[in-house]
Amino acid sequence: MVLSVSERTFAQEVFQASTPVLVHFWAPWCGLCRAIDPTLRKFDAQWTGRVKVVGVNADRSLKLASTYRLTSLPTLILFEGDKVRFRFEHYQGREELLRTLDAWMLETVHSGSNQLLQPQEAVKS
């Protein structure tokens, strides 16, 4: 189960984490949000100890939704500290999502890179 984070606990759970944090912005009415849950659990299991996965109910966290300019759900944002390093908005399938997340993590682990990667750049790595 992915840890649920609210506006009140966001800074502590995300900005103060010792590893990168993948934040899944979702809503109860969003079918695609539920569809990617198994993929996120698989990703979390594969990268245990190297990344933390949390969920934010965008309907209950309107301030966060506004701060990160959510235009569609699901939206995934990977943070290192308080910096956004990766954003994934246009869900096209579980395998593509997992490939993109894994490629980004491999790039991060092997290069120590601090640059912001777009999904298409991460997949090319």
Catalytic-role residue among 33, 36, 54, 101: 33
Q: Please confirm, yes or no, whether 81 is among the known catalytic residues.
A: no
- Is there a catalytic annotation at residue 63? no
- In a 13 Å sphere around the CA of 106, the CA atoms on its Cβ side amount to 11
Contact call for residues 5 and 36 (beta carbons, < 8 A): no
Give every CB contact of residue 84 below 8 A, 6+ residues apart in sequence. 68, 77, 78, 116
Q: Which of 17, 27, 30, 103 is catalytic?
A: 30
Q: Which active-site residues does the annotation give?
A: 30, 33
